Amino acid sequence: MRTNSVLVTLLLLLVTLTPVILLEDVPQTDVESEFSQDVRSSNERAITYSVSPADGWTTGGEEITITGTGFLNMAYKNVTSDGEAYTWTTTTASYVTSSGWDPSIGVDSNGTVHIVYSNTDSDDFWHSSYDGSTWTHSKIRNCASCSNADLVIDSNDNVHIAYYHSISGTGYLLYSMYDGTSWTNNWSRSSVENDQISIALDANDRPHISYSRDGYICNAAMLSYHDGSSWTTVTLDDTTTYIGCDSSIAIDSNGFVHVAYRHHSNMDLLIASNISGSWQRYTVDNGNGVGYHSAMAVDSNDELHLVYASNAAGNTAYFADGTSGSAWAVSNQGNSRNTFSMYIDQFDIVHISEYNGNSNLGYSMVAPGGSRQSMTVDSIGNVGYESDIFVDDDNMVHIAYYDSSNKRLKYANRSTGMYLSQEITVQFGSYGSVTGTVVNDTTIHVTTPVAGAVAEQVDLKLFGDQGATLDLGIAFQYVSPDDIDMDGVLNVNDDCPNEIGTSTVDLIGCPDSDNDGYSNAGDAFPNNPTEWMDSDGDGVGDNTDIFPNDANETMDSDGDGVGNNGDAFPFDANETMDSDGDGVGDNTDVFPLNFFEYMDSDGDGAGDNADAFPFDANETMDSDGDGVGDNADAFPNDASETMDSDGDGIGDNADQYPLLDNFLDTDGDTFVDLQDAFPNDMTQWRDTDGDGYGDNPDGASPDLFVNVPSQWSDLDGDGYGDNWGNASWNQTRISMGIGEYVQGAVLADYCPEANGNSSASGFLGCVDDDGDGIPNMFEVEEVVELDTDDDGVLDEDDMCPNSLPGVLVNSLGCEVIAEPEPQAQTQSDGFMSGDIAQTVGMGAILLAIFSLLQTNMVASLLPDTFRWVQVLRRNSKLSKEEENELTYLQSVVQAYFSNPEELNQELLDLKADLTARYTNNQIKDDTRVKLFRIIDELMKTNPDELEHIAHNDVYFGLSDALGTDERMALLNEKVAMDQTSSDPFEEEGIAVDTVPSDDVKGDVSEDGYEYLELPSGSGNWFIRNRVSGSWERWTQ
């Protein structure tokens, strides 16, 4: 047995240590609350409850504190008077003359009183504040007619006011806010009646203002409110005129807005509310002349309370209680009372300030379920006609009012003397329940009840108003004097009497942290309930240690009998060693002594790591790293090549012809096939122009024009190719069997059988004796015309070249014997007279006509049959320069008349050439101008006429021209010729097989050859030999 002195000492220690003794499994959160637990409320918010101190003697009587939240909602509430006789304190808040009209009052969270009011003398609007010792006054604005102000303070202590202001006869509703530093005029609305204005804030501190619209008396019940971003105005009632006066507003806990107002015409009191979801109007009191000076407030149960007066004699006051949309309880409160203000405090006590008939400021109070208690606040002078009331959270009543006698703002306050007792029942397990005091929403004070003789831990629960129950989830520990450490082992049997313990093996009642029966002092693993011994001292308990007597091993994870520490592969029962240290067990390693290898996937004897092709038994190396093994790589040391398909020693990638030997020379001409245009012809190897004919002139099928793809042969050796590109030559040239048609061919030889030097475009390679570029066949030779016997017929055409002078000859130059005829009157009569026509014949007439030819135009009108006679005249009026140029121009037209587009291009080139030659002083300007005119005319000529013009020398001025008189005579003669069908050649007996003179011109056909039918229409055709220039008979 231990002595009593020891026991007393231990008890003292226990009391000292009690705050820090913890029950098992209960976490400590702070010094004052040892036991706490998180519980979750209905809105899922984590709430922590705690008790301090958390233990006490079983004898009870100790005060403890429970902390948490939500206690006020559970508390039993009882409003009672403290029994003190409080009196009103009144004082003058402002001594400025005429200050205090229409005051409105509020108190912020710091207890500062705020009052706004008008000064009717200086026409100012003021704000006064009282901090409990000093009044401070500041002017809000100049305002000649500001009135009906109403004030409210939000949750952030911002002051909101609404009031009336008249500007130039127009009434305005003004709203302003004070943030503790300055006023902000936030909003205004016009057309407002100078009548009672009321303001209220919703749960979001957004202002709602009720007022009446401008009109005689009142014109409509109105509401304006701010929705967080902008203002909205609602017309609540404009069903008639004289409606909306004396409005007051209240907002219930659900956010529904209620506006009371007077219907002046019906003399009753109405209320508008959105409680149904839309605005509806309800009747509160339909008595006669009610609703004046109304004031309204809402209690914690969302019940509305109204006070108002009637206009009957004596100003009867009424109370109305109810809700929008339901029946109202109306009670008569007596006469001689009006201008009310109402406020409902935290206990739902209704407070009213009023002006009574005795010119006094009155006050009344109605507690829930109680009757009205009235008293006078101030009776000195005429006071209180305009007043406003507010009750703060400390139950202090504040009233701002106007002293009409002294024209001053006054202020009164008084404690209500009421307080709210709030209690709750606390249950201590099986030891019963006691009443605790709810100090505030987070704190409860309670005294512990008496427990049993044995230490015990009990749960704490709360029971509150209307059956509310809350399990705090925390415990209170009762302590017994016989078991100081409260571990359930009496002090006499406890090996550790001052320490809570549960050990039962080596010691009794000592701490056993892991509850394995071994005390912490005797447990090698005090925090591990599965271990308590370590035989080999390796730090692993015997129960867990696979090798309890081997300090080097504790586990054999793979169960292969080798401890993990000694097993190179502790989790692989198939491996225990790794001789080469490559991480692959010897049993698996194909190369167990080679650190760098352990697998040979293709079985070629080369390890996969060193084998460039670990899955190809035919390859092990890739010297050039191109991905192709050396054994298969034709170029094992060249990463850019792997194959040589044609075996020429050049890799396929670099070989332009990978399937053809680059060094092959099939025909043995020393030119490899790749460079040989004719790999099978040893006489040819190059084809510069790509026409299929070799450049070697001594080889087979040589190309005599190595740079001209359209030419390769030159039969006459004049440097112009035998091929042609003008399709109009096909008929003649194909029959000749020289060359071939090649579209677009250049350097085409017009005379492939004659070694010529002509260079005129389209007429290359023909004989050109004078070297002017124009073939001889197209040259215009100057003819020396002789007429020895001077009979008018040139010697070359004269069958009788020695006719006597003065005799009449026919077209053959032979004498004609004429019969006497009447003398001709005119030259045409002479020509056309019968004897002359018969004896001389049409041939002579034609010769006469031809002798008169003078102009190109007339000549061009001649039928084709007579064109050959143009050679009978010589152009003697052109310069040699002009004749040469005109002759060349005619040659161009003859060459290209069948292709007008190409002809136009040639003519444009000719114009450019003429200009260049004129610039170089090679031709005269007159020649250039004359040629330009003819060229311009040709370019405008109908393509169908070009062939006719091309073979008409007269058109090009290569024959003499006629004067005007001669032309008239010629026409008369032509008429005469048209009247006869006789062929002059037949009349004169000319043989049809006579070959025409070389000077006679024919027509150049599309095949490029010149043809002549003589006589015309006879069917006797001649073709000019291009070599000799002579006419030869032509037959089809």
CA distances, 822 to each of 501, 806, 827, 975 (Å): 184, 20, 13, 21
Which of 500, 518, 534 terminates a domain? The answer is: 500
Edge-to-edge strands of the sheet including 1010-1013? Answer: 1003-1004, 1010-1013, 1021-1024, 1031-1034
Whole-angstrom distance, CA of residue 346 vs CA of residue 201: 17
Give the per-residue pLDDT at 678.
93
Same domain, 399 and 427: no
Look up tokens 């080097």; give the residue: 552
Tell me what the pLDDT averaged over the chain comes to: 83
What confidence category does residue 89 fall into, taking pLDDT thresholds of 50, 70 and 90?
very high
What confidence category does residue 486 fall into, taking pLDDT thresholds of 50, 70 and 90?
confident
430 token code pair = 């099986």
pTM higher than the cut 0.75: no
Among 387-401, 500-514, 934-948, 949-963, the minimum mean pLDDT is found in 949-963
Which of 454, 469, 500 terminates a domain? The answer is: 500
- pLDDT of residue 25 exceeding 80, the answer is no
Same domain, 1011 and 979: no
Same domain, 324 and 440: no
Alpha-carbon radius of gyration of the chain = 70
Give the per-residue pLDDT at 843.
38
> For strand 396-403 and strand 383-391, is the pairing parallel, antiparallel, or unpaired?
antiparallel
- pLDDT of residue 630 exceeding 70, the answer is yes
Domain count for the chain: 4
Whole-angstrom distance, CA of residue 1023 vs CA of residue 1000: 11
676 token code pair = 């040989």
The number of residues in the chain equals 1036
Same domain, 36 and 160: no
For residue 632, tell me if it sits in a domain: no
- pLDDT of residue 35 exceeding 50, the answer is no
For residue 648, tell me if it sits in a domain: no
- pLDDT of residue 494 exceeding 90, the answer is no
Give the per-residue pLDDT at 783.
52
For residue 568, tell me if it sits in a domain: no
pLDDT, tens digit, 9 for 90 and up, residues 503-550: 989 898 899 999 999 999 888 899 999 999 988 988 898 898 889 999
Same domain, 188 and 202: yes
Q: What is the CATH number of the domain that holds 74?
A: 2.60.40.10
- pLDDT of residue 206 exceeding 50, the answer is yes
Around Cβ 711, how many Cβ atoms within 10 Å?
28
Same domain, 146 and 197: yes
79 token code pair = 């409003």
Same domain, 987 and 997: no
CA dihedral in degrees (630, 634, 637, 642; nearest 10)?
-90
Same domain, 398 and 431: no
Which of 973, 992, 1011 terminates a domain? The answer is: 992
Whole-angstrom distance, CA of residue 855 vs CA of residue 960: 7
Q: Using omega within 30 degrees of 0 as the cis cutoff, is the peptide bond preceding 449 cis? A: no
For residue 739, tell me if it sits in a domain: no
Q: What is the CATH number of the domain that holds 102?
A: 2.120.10.70
Domain carrying residue 211: 87-418
Same domain, 169 and 205: yes
For residue 829, tell me if it sits in a domain: yes
> For strand 55-57 and strand 317-322, is the pairing parallel, antiparallel, or unpaired?
unpaired
Backbone angles phi, psi at 279, to 5 degrees: -75, 125
For residue 1005, tell me if it sits in a domain: yes
Give the per-residue pLDDT at 818.
52
Same domain, 164 and 287: yes
Of 336, 374, 368, the residue nearest 355 (C-alpha): 336
1011 token code pair = 């043809």
What confidence category does residue 781 fall into, taking pLDDT thresholds of 50, 70 and 90?
low
| Sequential DSSP letters for 890-953 | HHHHHHHTT-HHHHHHHHHHHHHHHHHHHHTTSS-HHHHHHHHHHHHHHHHS-HHHHHHHHT-T
Give the residue-averaged pLDDT of 743-755: 92
Q: What stretches of 345-395 adopt beta strand conformation (E)?
A: 350-356, 361-366, 373-378, 383-391
pLDDT higher at 797 or 558:
558
Same domain, 1000 and 988: no
Whole-angstrom distance, CA of residue 173 vs CA of residue 1032: 129
pLDDT higher at 309 or 78:
309
For residue 540, tell me if it sits in a domain: no
CA dihedral in degrees (326, 330, 336, 337; nearest 10)?
-40
What confidence category does residue 43 fall into, taking pLDDT thresholds of 50, 70 and 90?
very low
For residue 48, tell me if it sits in a domain: yes
Same domain, 948 and 1024: no
Question: At 520, is the secondary structure helix, strand, or coil?
Answer: helix
718 token code pair = 């004049």
Pair 550, 537: CB distance under 8 Å: no
Pair 351, 342: CB distance under 8 Å: yes
Question: At 717, is the secondary structure helix, strand, or coil?
Answer: coil
